[in-house]
Amino acid sequence: MKRLFTTLAVLFVGTITMATAQQANERPIYLDPDAPIEERVEDALSRMTLREKIAIIHAQSKFSAPGVPRLGISEIWCTDGPHGIRPEVMWDEWDQARWTNDSCIAYPALTCLAATWNRDCALSYGRSIGEEARFRDKDVLLGPGVNIYRTPLCGRNFEYMGEDPYLASEMVVPYVKGVQEQGVAACVKHYALNNEEQHRHTVDVSLSDRALREIYLPAFKAAVTEGGAWSLMGSYNKYRGTYACHNHRLLVEILKQEWGFDGAVISDWGGVHSTEEAIHNGLDMEFGTWTDGLREGASNAYDNYYMALPYLKLIESGEVGTEELDDKVRRVLRLTFRTAMNNDKPYGAMCSEAHSLAARQIAEEGIVLLKNHNNNLPIAPDAKRILVVGENAIKMMTVGGGSSSLKVKYECSPLDGIRNYYGDDVEVLYARGYVGDVTGDYNGVVTGQNLVDKRSPKRLIAEAVEMAREADHVIFIGGLNKSNNQDCEGTDRRNLGLPYNQDAVIEALAEVSDNLTVVFVSGNAVAMPWIDEVESVVQVWYLGSEAGNAIANVLSGEVNPSGKLPFTFGAKLEDYMAHADGAKFPNPKKVFYHDGIFVGYRSFEKREIEPLFAFGHGLSYTTFEYSNLQLSATEAVAGNRIDETILEATVTITNRGDRAGKEVVQLYISDVESSVIRPKKELKGFEKVELQPGESKTITFSLTPEALAFYNENSSSWTVENGEYRVLIGASSADIRLDKSFTLR
């Protein structure tokens, strides 16, 4: 309704404006949807007053900016994502507005999307969530997130795309394109170095330029230069002493000047701290500062934002000019014409069958089979009694966790999904096993679940064990949830272990069941001290509305698992270089990334630590054979372009099992003769291929100089050195099947 009134007002004012313009023999280009956007921007800018320019670069409500009513320029409305469209909230409160028509489809968390290693899934994800945002009349989707998985303790890892910059880059581009096909701007976040939550408002991050360029920036760069992102969100933390939301090096030098970003930089809510720095250091739109307006004693909180009246006063006093302001306004207008005033955008759709199907397919492709001793999975077709144990089998996971919390049309729990799949053919029993977080509300969205259980841990375990003795197959469904100090915005995990006495439950079940499957709902790695005692382990992430159906399809064998880990599972916390040698985490003040470029599998291989499960690992119910690796040349020349193909690598993959399945073929590059320290190998290509039993396919990878480059801090540029390189083809970073060498001349 709010947009309806605004639209009517815009049409009315726009009509007056056009009539006035025609009287002056002047065409209002900015209202012409067929005119080039840059002409519309300049025309609108030339007609705006100083106060109107100031108004559109800051919020007017919790999630909107005002536009220019006098000129018929629309408001901009943002919505939280990146896993679904957030319910409507009050004008200036986080609590929901209690609408009855703002439920959504919850898509799997972005860790699951990354685990699909499937660019088509990323495109489908972006299109689906973009359609829901468009239907709800949103102009900016606040997502996706691409911060690097540096430590398994970061509470917000579940919203990101893993530890590897190449994988994150490849997955973010189709997501962004899919969203923006719907006339909705993707707002890629959190730029940059948001790798802890507890002290995100105060921590000051420093690191080498090489680590910044090779590890932490590539996914953002890809979103801008390849995905064409229309907006980007600054992060809360500082970088080298200056807050990221107005950091000149990040926003001006790198983002806008070097990468050519022409969109709008949006602050995270409460991420702005200085008018002067916001003016000069690249911020374009300010949201969420002093949002209640009470403590400041101001009649209008939004007028007192750093980029509101304080900015206006500096201009009127002559202390600053309007050059920076005009650049900000151009970017906001460009965003407006691409979204809110784009007459060619689709209508969108909400909670459609197609969206449910997309959510389920992404969830199924992202589920990772970590261990499967003696082919414990899929569940035997002659099983007559299945026992499901664990709170995460019944607890709603779409509510909570921070800004990605949702109000969903429905959420199929793992227990319901398993029961729905087997129907009356198999008896599916349930035992609680442990009690974790019994709450179920966030910002006024209430699950309605009553999870209170006052039985002691001893009684809960005893019940589960007794029932397990009589079951043909036992499925423990646990892991983390979206409570504080687990997978949750604003807090970080305290350790790598499982909460709520889950280890004891798993160990007790393992003693009485020879067919025990452990299923983890989480967005982070967890320690597994009992790993040798259980038959199978499955990582299922936060899967959204279709969680239970996707889990049931994979456990039963209806769907062959094909997910691969987007980050490394270490056996203990100290295995991660970010936590080695007593490194402090989280850091309230200053932190130097001493691990540099050695994040994730790069670190494990450098320190020769065997991971619990390697980056890229994931099993199948069938087997794949790798053969016939061929390089198009044994010698190559880099040439003058970083993206020019210098040689091709081909490999044949054959399904040797009796089930159809999908395999992720991974290509890594090793620099044998580098003049600088480099990782033993780095992911530089992957393809997901589907094969029928006995079928073979040949995969071709094109190698460019970019795949061989490192960031040279001496020259502040990317360098490709001559010498020997190895092409490594594998099923994970630790499972290399084939390799060949070539020489760059």
Active-site annotation, residues: 268
Residue 647 phi/psi, 5° resolution?
Answer: -165, 165
Going 193 to 196 to 201 to 205, the CA torsion angle's sign is negative
Instruction: State the Cα–Cα distance between residues 30 and 54, nearest whole angstrom.
Output: 19
Instruction: State the Cα–Cα distance between residues 272 and 285, nearest whole angstrom.
Output: 10
Prior bond of 144 cis (ω within 30°): yes
Tell me the residue type at 420. Answer: N
| Beta-bridge partner residues of 735 | 732
What sections of 317-397 are H helices per DSSP? 323-338, 353-366
In the numeric block, the tokens 């025990």 are attached to 516
What sections of 513-654 are H helices per DSSP? 547-556, 601-606
Strand order in the sheet with 264-266: 64-65, 76-80, 140-142, 185-191, 231-234, 264-266
Helix (H) or strand (E) holding 710: strand 710-712
**360 three-state secondary structure:** helix
Q: Provide the 8-state DSSP code for 213.
A: I
* CA 279 to chain CA mean position, Å: 29
Instruction: State the Cα–Cα distance between residues 107 and 735, nearest whole angstrom.
Output: 31
Q: Which residues contact 674 (CB under 8 A, 6 or more apart)?
A: 710, 721, 723
Instruction: State the Cα–Cα distance between residues 692 and 669, nearest whole angstrom.
Output: 29
Helix (H) or strand (E) holding 15: helix 2-23
Parallel, antiparallel, or unpaired for β 242-243 and 723-732? unpaired
Residue 541 phi/psi, 5° resolution?
Answer: 65, -170
Q: Which residues contact 422 (CB under 8 A, 6 or more apart)?
A: 386, 428, 552, 556
